[in-house]
């Protein structure tokens, strides 16, 4: 059986509807997964008209009704978006709709009705205006799934990066880091890669300070206090882990293939190297949920929404990774 993957539409004022319509027209991607959309049917029809897609919409009541016909887009309709919603503009209504789409997807995933969720981009400000005060998708998914802690992993063709902290200011992030959190992050990343078929992942852990603190010359001993205990604990478990290593050379080494995974300590430390490699093939994976979740590694792109110029290749890559990580996909392999 192919894995069943739900695509959530994201913020309806952004490019989410367009990239979904374009991706659903790709016959090769539909060979590797059974896909359906959770979103507003009328908004998706507007996107079909904008991109001049030959596909038609088939309304379904749930995953059991997915037809898998390549000339249709099966949609579990959540009518949350007015017909006159402007493209490319901040909207509380669109923010609330994005939440409703995710909420339904998590409900289905927790019930075992689907194998993975692949999310379209949302706008954090619109989400907050819509009454949902989450920093982003990662935290919202964890809360809805009842999971206390998850990790964000970004992947690119030559690099995987998992984050100890994400949506925090730099000072707050450093305060949050400790040995236990570092250890849990290393372990979550290792377990995911083992599940994905890498029997003994090579993991490198980034330092906080320049030159990994240079023996205490830089910083206030954060490497020894906050990172080394977590690394030592993971090593005692038998994991192949090095660190803390200077971040400037570490990411270079990861890019040339020395490591299967880099553990970054804070948001920009991990995001910048991956995004320098290119947004087109970047994928966001939430690690630690009881189901698979992937996402494009770009935002709502309000400046080009509704204009039929957005590239849907990042969504195709996110779907591929969701299929590769899903239980049914791994069983088939």
Q: Is residue 328 over pLDDT 60?
A: no
Residue 202's DSSP bridge partners are 240
Dump pLDDT digits (tens) for 76-129. Answer: 999 999 999 999 999 999 999 999 999 999 999 999 999 999 999 999 999 999
Predicted TM-score of the model (pTM): 0.84
pLDDT of residue 34: 95
Residue with tokens 């919202």: 140
Q: Would you say 313 and 23 are in contact if contact means Cβ atoms under 8 Å apart?
A: no
Identify the CATH homologous superfamily for domain 1-148+289-333.
Answer: Isopropylmalate Dehydrogenase (3.40.718.10)
Q: Measured between alpha carbons, how far is 74 from 47 in angstroms, rounded to an integer? A: 14
Q: Is 212 exposed, middle or buried (0-12, 13-18, 19+ CB in 10 A)?
A: buried
Dump pLDDT digits (tens) for 187-240. Answer: 999 998 888 778 999 999 999 999 887 777 788 889 999 999 999 999 999 999
Q: How does residue 7 score in pLDDT terms, banded at 50, 70 and 90?
A: very high
Q: In what order do the strands lie in the sheet with 292-296?
A: 56-60, 72-77, 34-39, 4-8, 116-119, 292-296, 283-287, 151-156, 159-163, 261-264, 202-206, 240-245
Per-residue b/e over 235-262, b at no fewer than 16 CB within 10 Å? Answer: eeeebebebbbbbeebbeebbeeebbbb
Instruction: Please state the rounded mean pLDDT for residues 271-284.
Output: 81
Q: Which residue has the higher pLDDT, 214 or 134?
A: 134
pLDDT of residue 280: 66
Domain ranges of the chain: 1-148+289-333, 158-276
pLDDT of residue 214: 74
pLDDT of residue 188: 95
Q: Measured between alpha carbons, how far is 60 from 150 in angstroms, rounded to an integer? A: 31
CATH class in words for 158-276: alpha beta
What residues have CB less than 8 Å from 112, skipping those under 6 apart?
A: none
Helix-helix angle 137-145:92-110, to 10 degrees: 40
What are the angstrom distances between the C-alpha of 190 and each of 160, 265, 296? Answer: 11, 16, 22
Q: How does residue 136 score in pLDDT terms, banded at 50, 70 and 90?
A: confident
pLDDT of residue 55: 97
The stretches of the chain forming alpha helices (DSSP H) are 16-24, 27-32, 41-51, 92-110, 124-129, 137-145, 170-176, 179-195, 222, 228-236, 247-255, 267-276, 313-325, 327-332
Q: Measured between alpha carbons, how far is 156 from 283 in angstroms, rounded to an integer? A: 7
């Amino acid at each position: 059986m192919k894995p069943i993957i739900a695509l959530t539409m994201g913020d309806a004022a952004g490019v989410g509807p367009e990239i979904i319509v374009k991706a659903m027209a790709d016959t090769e991607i539909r060979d590797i997964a059974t896909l359906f959309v959770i979103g507003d049917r009328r908004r998706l029809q507007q996107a079909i008209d904008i991109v001049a897609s030959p596909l038609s919409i088939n309304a379904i009541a749930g995953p059991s009704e997915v037809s898998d016909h390549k000339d249709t887009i099966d949609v579990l309709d959540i009518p949350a978006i007015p017909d006159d919603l402007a493209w490319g503009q901040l909207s509380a209504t669109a923010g609330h709709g994005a939440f409703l789409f995710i909420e339904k997807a998590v409900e289905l995933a927790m019930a075992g009705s689907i194998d993975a969720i692949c999310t379209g981009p949302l706008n954090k400000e619109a989400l907050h205006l819509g009454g949902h005060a989450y920093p982003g998708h990662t935290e919202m998914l964890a809360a809805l799934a009842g999971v206390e802690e998850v990790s964000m992993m970004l992947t690119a063709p030559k690099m995987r990066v998992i984050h100890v902290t994400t949506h925090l200011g730099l000072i707050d992030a450093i305060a949050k880091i400790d040995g236990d959190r570092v250890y849990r992050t290393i372990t979550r990343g290792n377990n995911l890669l083992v599940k994905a078929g890498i029997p003994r992942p090579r993991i490198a852990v980034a330092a906080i300070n320049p030159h990994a603190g240079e023996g205490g010359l830089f910083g206030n001993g954060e490497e020894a206090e906050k990172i080394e205990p977590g690394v030592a604990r993971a090593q005692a478990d038998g994991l192949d882990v090095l660190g803390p290593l200077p971040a400037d050379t570490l990411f270079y080494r990861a890019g040339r293939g020395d490591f299967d995974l880099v553990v970054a300590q804070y948001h920009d430390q991990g995001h910048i190297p991956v995004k320098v490699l290119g947004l087109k093939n970047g994928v966001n994976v939430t690690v630690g949920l009881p189901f698979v979740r992937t996402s494009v590694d770009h935002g709502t792109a309000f400046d080009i929404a509704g204009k039929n110029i957005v590239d849907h290749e990042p969504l195709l890559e996110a779907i591929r990774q969701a299929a590769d990580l899903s239980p049914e996909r791994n069983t088939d392999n």
